[in-house]
Chain A
Amino acid sequence: GAVVSQHPSRVICKSGTSVKIECRSLDFQATTMFWYRQFPKKSLMLMATSNEGSKATYEQGVEKDKFLINHASLTLSTLTVTSAHPEDSSFYICSAKRVDTQYFGPGTRLTVL
């Protein structure tokens, strides 16, 4: 089946630094990828839709200057958390759509100290 990878799986950083998370579709091309954040109590929140070759579409309440998304190729989207703060600590997940199925990455756990 289709596989989506994320890197890194875990990252710990100091407050004020920037962190880049990669999402790759390993065996298919994805013109659209999605980024989610998982809050406590297991709920997921869609942060943005990443479109290859164009600007990402951010959901209401998500700061585009804080969470930079770049979809440079049909197999790679990156999420950069800029000037990270402890409240940005969370589990970040990406997905890529192939036909009518979403394939999810394994997630990246970000801890900001």
Chain B
Amino acid sequence: KNEVEQSPQNLTAQEGEFITINCSYSVGISALHWLQQHPGGGIVSLFMLSSGKKKHGRLIATINIQEKHSSLHITASHPRDSAVYICAVTGNQFYFGTGTSLTVIP
């Protein structure tokens, strides 16, 4: 069993839809990261969370430390949001989820 589990693995949405990607982890952590990887491979760090909620533009990330769960929300999704979204946690070491492949259709 992976220390970090993401769901769904694949997600297709119509432009404008509200999207939620979930991440659950089983280890003690000091921070949780949401990463975005575009088809070319480049990775961008979207958020680093240790508690509560963060918002950046149309992206919102929340974390519930007690439930060991985080969600990444995308409001008013757009085709340019199509990418792989990876959840990662840092504790004693780095653990990565296998990613959620998001495709937003115009």
Contacts and interface: CB of A to CB of B under 8 A. Distances in A.
Interface of A: 34, 36, 38, 41-46, 59, 91, 93, 95, 100-107, 109
A58 B41 CA distance: 24
B45 interface: yes
A59 B48 contact: no
The 5 closest A-B pairs by CB, nearest first: A42-B99, A104-B43, A46-B94, A44-B96, A106-B42
A42 B43 contact: no
B37 interface: yes
A44 B86 contact: yes
Interface of B: 33, 35, 37, 40-45, 48, 84, 86, 88, 93-94, 96-99, 101
Q: Is chain B's interface secondary structure helix, strand, loop, or mixed overall?
A: strand
A10 B40 CA distance: 12
Contacts of B35: 104
Contacts of A36: 94
Given A44-B86, A44-B88, A45-B96, A101 B41 contact: no
Contacts of A34: 94
Given A107-B41, A109-B41, A42 B48 contact: no
A42 B42 contact: no
